[in-house]
Amino acid sequence: MSRQVLDLIIVVGYLVAITSYGLYVGRKESKSQEGYFLGGRKFSWFAIGASVFATNISITQFMSGNGLAHQIGFGAINNDLIGALLLSISAVFFIPLYIRSRLYTMPEFMEKRYSSGTKFIFGGTYLAQMLLNMPTGFYIGGLAVLGLFGLDAEHLPMATILIGLTVGTYSVLGGLTSVVKTDVIQVCLLVGGGLAITAIGLNKVGGMGALMQEFPEKFELIQPRGSAMPYTAFLGIAIHSAFFAFCSIHIIQRALGAKDVRNAKGGMLFSAYLKLLSIPLFALPGIIAYKLYGADATGDATYAMLISDLLWPGISGLVLAGLLAALMSSADSNVTAISSVVALDIWPAVFHKNLNEKQALKVGKWTAACLMLWGMLAAPYFANLGSIYVFVLRLTGFVFMPIGVCFIFGRFSKRVNHQGAFATLAMGVVLGIVYVLGSGIPALNPYMPEWLMAWHFYEILPIFFLICTGIMFTVSYLTPPPPPEKLEILQQTKASLDEIDERTLPLYKRFAFWWWLFIAILGTIYIIF
């Protein structure tokens, strides 16, 4: 039996097993609204953290991330490390408020803090982004899978349909419970497989010390302006990551399904710890490939080369299954997130105001099924869009920036109101789309300022953030302050959920202990590298 056939058998077997497991664990909770959309609010910190981490990474990070690390080294993982910091901040300042408010979706916060109009803009913008993101994810993931198995691009439709049917079956029928519990298994597989490649690779090249001695420039996190990931982009990365950590629907939805505030906070912090694994998962393999294959090797192909050259038949199949798990975790997260937004936020506002629980479930499941079908069928046609990943990254960063501004200042300022939020969303989304299209479509480039085209898009994000902030406060202070009922969501207390006073617990059980330890570890990483 050839290596390729053995690996294929293992991957297909994994797909069958994970689908069956997902259907099994989600069969009970999928019958109620709270069960389907939030897993019955029964998730532990471990399940939340694993699922958030699985949702936050993708197969492109293993392929393109290590490809970038092959070129610039540790600078490639600044996104992940800064993102980890923002997740830990979210656990302190945002997650407790969301849990105490018993939210179902993130647009619901916009309605309670501002108005139904702002909720609809958030939900509609997110739906539009998912309509682009789903086929993009399937397209990029499908190409990665084909590359790993050495198959031609003509097999792309078959690959996307196979992945879509697998993910769609358990996520559409089982809801968030199926997604979170399968994510726990998939995280173990993808982390285990990724660490195996790194460990075997380090052994082959003489260890990390040998790499650091031979290529010291590859182990620098802080890189000069002009590089692919300059230090001047750090603030923009933090602002971009803030949206995902503070208010991204498919990230926060896991925490909303927590048993209580402690598990929600602990889960988000655990996901931040897991993101520190970006060093051995998304950076070291790229540097190992640089040592083994030289600077001329195709960056995005180096990870597949490592799998083929370093792993034994069968083991490589398990690693391939782990990479497929990364793709599936990203896809199933999008499905459950958008189904809840359409069923609970958009559909009642547009079609049926008094939607009962049974109808909400029906709308949610049909939305999930249609989105999955759209992603599978549209993916092959995205081959003509060029640098799709960069386009989607820019679109997400700029179009969702005003939403992040509304959440941040809506959380910390009692003076901003729905007029300011509405103006910020409307003008911010328009400005974001104009920039993304103007800088991304060659025919429109001449109409953009030269300095705007020359800057790294992460360097532009802080300017856009300041513009959105200015709009928010200017309009808010020119109009009456928000009524008292719009500030009630900010006044939730610990007593509202009978939370435990952590000062009575041993040190190792306190959230603050683990949070400060995380900050110390992250700071040490930046000091060393």
Whole-angstrom distance, CA of residue 13 vs CA of residue 437: 42
Q: For the segment 155-178, what is each residue's pLDDT rounded down to a tens digit?
A: 788 888 888 888 888 888 888 898
Q: For the segment 325-363, what is each residue's pLDDT rounded down to a tens digit?
A: 777 787 888 888 889 998 888 888 888 777 788 888 889
Q: In the predicted model, is pLDDT for residue 464 greater than 60?
A: yes
Whole-angstrom distance, CA of residue 103 vs CA of residue 93: 16
Higher pLDDT, 430 or 475: 475
Most distant CA atoms of the chain, gap in Å: 74
How many CA atoms lie less than 13 Å away from 409 in the CB half-sphere? 23
Do residues 34 and 40 lie in contact, with contact meaning Cβ atoms separated by under 8 Å?
A: yes
Could you count the other beta carbons within 10 Å of the beta carbon of residue 463? 12
Do residues 192 and 14 lie in contact, with contact meaning Cβ atoms separated by under 8 Å?
A: no
Q: In the predicted model, is pLDDT for residue 231 greater than 70?
A: yes
Which residue, among 463, 465, 462, has the nearest Cα to 473 in the 3D structure? 465
Q: How confident is the model at residue 387 (pLDDT cuts 50, 70, 90)?
A: low
Q: pLDDT value at position 320?
A: 80
Which residue, among 250, 392, 265, 283, has the nearest Cα to 61 in the 3D structure? 283
Per-chain mean pLDDT for the chain? 85
Q: pLDDT value at position 304?
A: 78
What's the average model confidence in pLDDT over 103-109? Answer: 91
Q: pLDDT value at position 392?
A: 63
Do residues 476 and 415 lie in contact, with contact meaning Cβ atoms separated by under 8 Å?
A: yes
Q: How confident is the model at residue 422 (pLDDT cuts 50, 70, 90)?
A: very high
* Strand segments (E) across 170-278: none
Whole-angstrom distance, CA of residue 48 vs CA of residue 251: 10
Could you count the other beta carbons within 10 Å of the beta carbon of residue 517? 12
Whole-angstrom distance, CA of residue 14 vs CA of residue 186: 10
The SS3 call for residue 43 is strand
Structural domains of the chain sorted by starting position, each given as residue range(s) with its CATH number in brackets: 3-380 (1.20.1730.10)
Could you count the other beta carbons within 10 Å of the beta carbon of residue 441? 12
Q: In the predicted model, is pLDDT for residue 18 greater than 60?
A: yes
Report residue 345 as tokens.
């936020």
Question: Which residues sit opposite 223 in a β-bridge?
Answer: 230
Q: In the predicted model, is pLDDT for residue 479 greater than 90?
A: yes
Q: In the predicted model, is pLDDT for residue 309 greater than 90?
A: no
Percent of the chain scored above 90 by pLDDT? 30
- Residue recorded with tokens 């069923």: 343
Question: Which residues sit opposite 230 in a β-bridge?
Answer: 223
Measured CA angle at 344 (ends 341, 349), to 5 deg:
100
- Residue recorded with tokens 């109409």: 447
What's the average model confidence in pLDDT over 74-99? Answer: 93
- Residue recorded with tokens 């020119």: 478
Highest mean pLDDT among 227-241, 292-306, 375-389: 227-241
Which residue, among 514, 128, 92, has the nearest Cα to 264 in the 3D structure? 92
Q: pLDDT value at position 127?
A: 86
Q: pLDDT value at position 514?
A: 94
Q: pLDDT value at position 393?
A: 60
Q: How confident is the model at residue 7 (pLDDT cuts 50, 70, 90)?
A: confident
Which residue, among 309, 386, 271, 19, has the nearest Cα to 170 in the 3D structure? 19
What's the average model confidence in pLDDT over 498-505? Answer: 68
Q: In the predicted model, is pLDDT for residue 510 greater than 90?
A: no
Whole-angstrom distance, CA of residue 510 vs CA of residue 437: 47
Q: pLDDT value at position 108?
A: 92
What's the average model confidence in pLDDT over 264-278? Answer: 95
Q: In the predicted model, is pLDDT for residue 254 greater than 70?
A: yes
Q: pLDDT value at position 456?
A: 75
CA dihedral 288, 291, 297, 302 (to 10 degrees): -20
Which residue, among 468, 313, 334, has the nearest Cα to 401 in the 3D structure? 468
The SS3 call for residue 441 is coil
Question: Which residues sit opposite 43 in a β-bridge?
Answer: 258
End-to-end CA distance of the chain: 45
Q: How confident is the model at residue 496 (pLDDT cuts 50, 70, 90)?
A: low
Higher pLDDT, 58 or 392: 58
Whole-angstrom distance, CA of residue 90 vs CA of residue 294: 40
Q: pLDDT value at position 151?
A: 74
Q: How confident is the model at residue 318 (pLDDT cuts 50, 70, 90)?
A: confident
Question: Which residues sit opposite 258 in a β-bridge?
Answer: 43
Do residues 110 and 406 lie in contact, with contact meaning Cβ atoms separated by under 8 Å?
A: yes
Q: pLDDT value at position 389?
A: 53
Which residue, among 186, 280, 136, 312, has the nearest Cα to 144 in the 3D structure? 136
**Would you list the DSSP string of 300-324?**
GGHHHHHHHHHSPTTHHHHHHHHHH
Do residues 406 and 424 lie in contact, with contact meaning Cβ atoms separated by under 8 Å?
A: yes
Report residue 156 as tokens.
């792309």
Phi, psi of 258 (to 5 degrees): -70, 155
Whole-angstrom distance, CA of residue 127 vs CA of residue 340: 11
Calculate the CA 87 to chain-centre distance: 11
Could you count the other beta carbons within 10 Å of the beta carbon of residue 155? 14
The rounded radius of gyration (Å) of the Cα atoms in the chain is 23
* pTM of the predicted model as reported, rounded to 2 decimal places: 0.89
Q: pLDDT value at position 499?
A: 61
Highest mean pLDDT among 187-201, 268-282, 372-386, 492-506: 268-282
Whole-angstrom distance, CA of residue 127 vs CA of residue 133: 10
What's the average model confidence in pLDDT over 458-474? Answer: 91
What's the average model confidence in pLDDT over 427-439? Answer: 83
Q: pLDDT value at position 414?
A: 93
Q: pLDDT value at position 19?
A: 86
Q: pLDDT value at position 298?
A: 65
Do residues 183 and 274 lie in contact, with contact meaning Cβ atoms separated by under 8 Å?
A: no
How many CA atoms lie less than 13 Å away from 331 in the CB half-sphere? 39
